[in-house]
Amino acid sequence: MTERPGAFPVSSALPPLRHGDSADHTPLIPFWHMKNAGDGGSTIENNWLEGFARQVVSGDTAPIWMRAFPGDVKAVWFNVLPVGWVGDWHPSPSLQWVIPLSGHWFIETQDGKRVEMGPGDIHWGADIIAAQAPDIAHFSGQLGDVPCVQLMIQFAHTSDTAVSAPTAA
């Protein structure tokens, strides 16, 4: 297992990724992990995407660091949050990656944590409704004077543990 940097506080900025400058110093990509909290509400915390291996992407190209993500993709969306948009309290509709491409947005969870994200930040939404947490939700909205453009990848089948469990490619 790769040595992980220390935890970073919930704030408006993630630390920089670790690029993977050697086989024993593989990449780590920081991301925000929103999930169901033990009390039945939602929470958000930092996490590290790990489990990268050097592979050839196609043909005779030089290897790059890659990490497969298991599951069946349900939908890929390009979202535009207009200036002033606010999403009332709601759960994530499915397990999903949300990556802002331009502009900024925020998420606030039921435990009162608020995270602001912009280009280069990565968010894993796993605050989905479950039998033990029927009232799970988060609040979100656009920030600033330009729309927030996002890439959203929703999964029909995967698990929340896939984000922290390295997978074989």
Could you read off the pLDDT tens digit of each residue along the chain, which spans 169 residues? 334 444 444 555 666 667 777 667 788 889 999 998 877 789 999 888 988 999 999 999 999 999 988 899 999 999 999 999 999 999 999 999 999 999 999 999 999 999 999 998 999 999 887 666 678 889 999 999 999 999 999 999 888 788 765 444 4
Q: Helix, strand or coil for residue 146?
A: coil
In angstroms, the CA 131 to CA 102 distance is 36
The letter for the amino acid at 59 is G
- Other CB atoms within 10 A of residue 55 CB: 13
Q: Which CATH superfamily is domain 29-163 in?
A: Jelly Rolls (2.60.120.10)
* CA-only gyration radius of the chain, Å: 17
* CB-based contact 13:117 (threshold 8 Å): no
CA-CA distance, 12 to 117, in Å (whole number)?
6
